[in-house]
Structure 1
Amino acid sequence: MSLPSATAYDLVVVGSGPTGSTYVREVYDRHPTARVLLLDAGPRLTDPPGAHVKNIPDAGERARAQRASEGPGPAGRPGTRLLGAPDLPAAALSTNVGGMGVHWTGACPRPGDGERVPFVPAAEMDSHLARAEQLLHVDAHAFDHAPFADEVRARLSALFDPGRPEDRRVAAMPLAVTRRPDGAHAWSGTDVVLGRAAHDLRVEIADRCLCLRVELDAGAVTGVTVRDLADGGERTVTARAVVVAADALRTPQLLHASGIRPPALGRYLNDQPQIVHAARLPDDVVTAHHAVTGRTRDEDGAIVPQSGVSWVPYTDAHPFHGQVMQLDASPVPLADDTTVEPGTVVGLGWFCAKDITAEDRVEFDDNTADAYGLPAMRVHYRYTERDLATIEQAKKAVTEAAAAVGVPLDDSPVLLPAGSSLHYQGTTRMGPADDGTSVCDSHSRVWGTQGLWVAGNNVIPTATACNPTLTSVALAVRGAAALLDHLRPPADQPSGRLAFSTPTEDRCSRR
């Protein structure tokens, strides 16, 4: 709990999730003198900061970390609070160091077909995706030895692969996991993105520190004003650049509060409609394979491979993305019967590409404040006729997938309430031109505002169905390259280092 220790930084990043931390890491690695401030309104849960809460071996400690992430308001899924938006009733947010990167399921598929950003050159995007996979520690083979994985994928492949190009066929889901010294795997959190930057004095992490506004002068960023949520103290710090990476709802909120209000701000909101089902593997499959018995996770927090996570990729003809998951990898509880052998019941989740419209949006009320004193949000969101048709198509596909995998546990799949995906996108979308339909350019620089970048799923402009984290981290890698050019001094200047004030004595620790 602290205010920043200094009054000047090269870079301030608002929001410590995977994309904000990507900017920190790229600047830390490639600019040896830059001093960086990373702000988060939530608490630090772990040491190192941003570690995945699923890796906490003690169930009580894990639950306490999740509760600490919820922030004010009614609790949603563990680690989140509900936004309270009637049009998006399941919309939920996490408030903690590491953002959703300490709660997520680690799925990192590459986008394909219409999911890809058309105005980012393909070769450049592939390079950015490869770097994002490095930062997140993505491994497509982590569960290769799971007892039931091959059988599950073989059954899905027989159903979905005919007619698909090779790169869009059923495969093991690329997962953000970290191999431990003992050979076991644990979930990657935001700590793996930060790497050494989390422990270097050049990077200051201020938790429970709310950014109230981005400060501007003549259309250029000059810094930010922040509040210590413990005692209400405020401070303005200067910066040569600011990145706002506060998620797809709070990023446009902060820009609005700062008077930065391009026409597209908050518009083109995209939540992927999510359909779930469950199936039990046939008895002959269970008998033929050696299963892990009596537990779903190691006592020390490692992942226990069971049936793995399989991926049915999006295609333009099949405009949804499927995941078939062992239960501890699923964000949605799928069975109450804890006596079933681990891995023998799998969850099927299908995410649909949304029909993106400017009318789907989040608005901000300057006359009403939220729990943090920022302009209150109001969400406008609906399914179009095209969305309803896609949802019905996806229900048919997931029903067929459940029957192919084994014995469906329910009569039919369930469409979850809007907002359940937690994959909110588009509200500060990038575009090829400043024509009123985008907030930033292809390098995530906010149009008309020098020194300001945005980051997160909110910059993705396309109708995606795949999990968006890998894409948004790749776009952050792209944006960070442009930010580094902004920070580097002209050739005739010896250093890009700012003159820093002497750190003040704060009541709370910063590290």
Structure 2
Amino acid sequence: MTSRASYLADDSFDYIIVGGGSAGCLLANRLSRDPAMRVLLLEAGRKDDYPWIHVPVGYLYCIGNPRTDWLFKTEPDAGLNGRSLRYPRGKTLGGCSSINGMIYMRGQARDFDGWATATGDDAWSWQNCLPDFKAHEDHYRLDNGADPKTGGNSRFSDMHGHGGEWRIEKQRLKWDILESFAEAAVEAGIPRSDDFNSGDNQGVGYFEVNQRSGWRWNTSKAFLRPAKNRPNLTVWTQSHVERLIVETEGSGRKRCVGVMLQRQGRSLQVRAHREVILSAGAIGSPQILQLSGIGPGGLLKRHGVEVAHALPGVGENLQDHLQIRAVFKITNAKTLNTLANSLFGKTMIGLEYVLKRSGPMSMSPSQLGAFTRSDDSQAHANLEYHVQPLSLDAFGEPLHSIPAFTASVCNLNPTSVGSVRIRSDKTSDAPVIAPNYLSTEEDRRIAAESLRQVRKIVSQPALARYQPQEWNPGMQFQSDEELTRLAGDIANTIFHPVGTTKMGRDDDPMAVVDSHLRVRGIEGLRVVDAGIMPKITSGNTNAPTLMIAEKAAGWIVADART
């Protein structure tokens, strides 16, 4: 029997996936498992063969680098006292998994139960998302069967998977100052946690990371490498999608039938027999939709884009985690500031990594984490700490010369929302990114409370021997008004934009996709990336994005069989 791949034209595929990032790589693997389905994966960036992608500390050389980063910036933000932020997004195979902090974090069970309520679809409940998390997991604690920390019982294996493509390991270093911070957190009333991914992440402990033997483990390695020899999978890098091709059928229904793209200096049209799947991320996907005439009608008309289908929610509902970086100068302890600011220290760091794949070069940006409540009125942990044995003004900037550590804290459930909107009708123009940080009274109140909580932890006996002094923002600032203003001065994005193509019920006018991620009013088109989240998860967002892609792949394959 002749397969579909043999009779489709060279410029025609069953599925076109736009974006070779976290979701796109997983989708390409899953959809190409069926040899009868011809799959094209499009990535605007280059292959992930840049060496700094694979060394964990290499994020310092990938963020802000046009080789691997889109180099987006936010608009000046009133909540940040007029500041504009660098807004890194991965531009290479693996997408943000090639430049992110490598932290494996699902979020809280209540996040996904909330999605189920928002969509009216129980498929998104925690219990029904858990199998999709586990499907691609390869957790180090299950390498030898049952979890040794639980004495052989099934608690850990019930929650985690093994043998999948997505490797999860413990970090390969420890610092005395981090151990002491964890002790101080316990003294301040935060319990210890040995698993942040069981549905309730409250506690303090070390983050687990997506690494393999001291190397970054990105989604290109995990999902594309095993599929690279499949003849039905085609991967085009340096292929920039300009717009979607939407046609009106005889019945009046609209259908996405392909994409227009730039590749090797040429404009190409590629068509999809079954579906086009947008996985360009919470910034890229709404931009492509709007440039294709799918989005808020008024916005499109202002920029001379013909309205193919008015969807007011495209690009709205942007949510992000804003981290407030409190820095403490210390004595009597080694920090990366002092170690990496000398030639001898740098040499030793390099040798340790070359010989052992451990030490500072194997570091994720944050090593120790904590989840807790900003005040007793909170029903769940609503703050996340990223604690680091270093300090700098922002990632990509030089380390400070003083011995110091940083306790970054973010509001996990911000109520401030922003937008992503096209700047013009030109695909080469970066979109207008307006996160609208700290724009609600609740977010401003929690910002002030979180800075006070940082001070409470640092004042505990476990840290006393280091004589910590608040270097930034400074203990002279005490009132809510002062702390909120200073939060605006020192806060930065934690690189978690979501929500700009949110899923929702039929009666939600701002929902862009339905609960199976199909774009409303356009057949043959789905969005599968972090943009579909109706609410941001209570933690880092890469793991939930892979879960979304796993679930969507199951639906897409099932639809092809009907």
TM range (shorter): 0.7 to 0.9
1:103 is matched with which residue?
Answer: 99
Please give the alpha-carbon distance, in whole angstroms, between the structure 2 residues aligned to 1:364 and 1:391: 30
> Contact 1:105–1:330 (CA<8 Å) still a contact in 2?
no
2:327 is matched with which residue?
Answer: 278
Please give the alpha-carbon distance, in whole angstroms, between the structure 2 residues aligned to 1:329 and 1:142: 22
Task: Provide, for residues 167-187 of structure 1, a one-character-per-residue CA deviation record: whole Å limited to 9, x for no partner.
Answer: 5221221211112xxxxx212
> Contact 1:431–1:440 (CA<8 Å) still a contact in 2?
yes
2:245 is matched with which residue?
Answer: 215
2:516 is matched with which residue?
Answer: 443
> Contact 1:133–1:470 (CA<8 Å) still a contact in 2?
no
Please give the alpha-carbon distance, in whole angstroms, between the structure 2 residues aligned to 1:453 and 1:330: 39
Aligned to 2:551, what secondary structure does the other structure show? Answer: helix
Of 164, 168, 177 in structure 1, the residue corresponding to residue 202 of structure 2 is 168
| 1:161 to partner: Cα distance | 2.1
Q: Measured at CA, do residues 186 and 278 of structure 1 come closer, stay the same or move farther in structure 2, by a change above 3 Å?
A: farther
1:472 is matched with which residue?
Answer: 545
Bigger CA drift: 214-223 or 202-211? 214-223
Aligned to 1:313, what secondary structure does the other structure show? Answer: strand
> Contact 2:391–2:405 (CA<8 Å) still a contact in 1?
no
Aligned to 1:275, what secondary structure does the other structure show? Answer: strand
TM-score by length of 1: 0.76
- Is residue 304 from structure 1 mapped to residue 359 from structure 2 by the alignment? yes
Of 226, 235, 242 in structure 1, the residue corresponding to residue 269 of structure 2 is 235
Aligned to 2:471, what secondary structure does the other structure show? Answer: coil
1:139 is matched with which residue?
Answer: 168
Query: Which blocks of at least 5 consecutive residues in structure 2 are unaligned?
Result: 1-8, 78-82, 117-123, 139-163, 194-198, 248-252, 296-310, 336-343, 374-378, 475-485
Q: Measured at CA, do residues 335 and 117 of structure 1 come closer, stay the same or move farther in structure 2, by a change above 3 Å?
A: farther
- Is residue 53 from structure 1 mapped to residue 48 from structure 2 by the alignment? no
Of 199, 204, 213 in structure 1, the residue corresponding to residue 234 of structure 2 is 204
Please give the alpha-carbon distance, in whole angstroms, between the structure 2 residues aligned to 1:424 and 1:21: 19
Bigger CA drift: 89-98 or 7-16? 89-98
2:411 is matched with which residue?
Answer: 352
TM-score by length of 2: 0.70
Please give the alpha-carbon distance, in whole angstroms, between the structure 1 residues aligned to 2:36 and 2:255: 22
1:125 is matched with which residue?
Answer: 129
Of 473, 497, 500 in structure 2, the residue corresponding to residue 412 of structure 1 is 473
Task: Provide, for residues 306-330 of structure 1, a one-character-per-residue CA deviation record: whole Å limited to 9, x for no partner.
Answer: 9971221255444221122355999
- Is residue 41 from structure 1 mapped to residue 44 from structure 2 by the alignment? yes
Aligned to 1:130, what secondary structure does the other structure show? Answer: helix
> Contact 1:453–1:479 (CA<8 Å) still a contact in 2?
no
Task: Provide, for residues 274-330 of structure 1, a one-character-per-residue CA deviation record: whole Å limited to 9, x for no partner.
Answer: 1112346763899xxxxx976445454934269971221255444221122355999
Of 376, 379, 383 in structure 1, the residue corresponding to residue 434 of structure 2 is 379
Task: Provide, for residues 220-262 of structure 1, a one-character-per-residue CA deviation record: whole Å limited to 9, x for no partner.
Answer: 332222111x413323333411111112122111112222232
Please give the alpha-carbon distance, in whole angstroms, between the structure 1 residues aligned to 2:359 and 2:210: 15
For 1:220, the aligned partner's letter is R
For 1:1-20, what aligned pairs fall within 5 Å after superposition?
6-20=10-24
Identical counterparts, % of pairs: 17
1:188 is matched with which residue?
Answer: 217
- Is residue 320 from structure 1 mapped to residue 320 from structure 2 by the alignment? no
Please give the alpha-carbon distance, in whole angstroms, between the structure 2 residues aligned to 1:437 and 1:27: 29
Higher share in helix: 2
Please give the alpha-carbon distance, in whole angstroms, between the structure 1 residues aligned to 2:428 and 2:182: 46
Larger RCO (alpha carbons 8 Å, 6+ apart): 1
Aligned to 1:485, what secondary structure does the other structure show? Answer: helix
| 1:129 to partner: Cα distance | 2.1
Aligned to 2:422, what secondary structure does the other structure show? Answer: strand
Bigger CA drift: 37-46 or 196-205? 196-205
| 1:467 to partner: Cα distance | 0.9
> Contact 2:327–2:473 (CA<8 Å) still a contact in 1?
no
Q: Measured at CA, do residues 156 and 136 of structure 1 come closer, stay the same or move farther in structure 2, by a change above 3 Å?
A: farther
Of 85, 109, 127 in structure 1, the residue corresponding to residue 75 of structure 2 is 85
Aligned length: 454
For 2:324, the aligned partner's letter is I
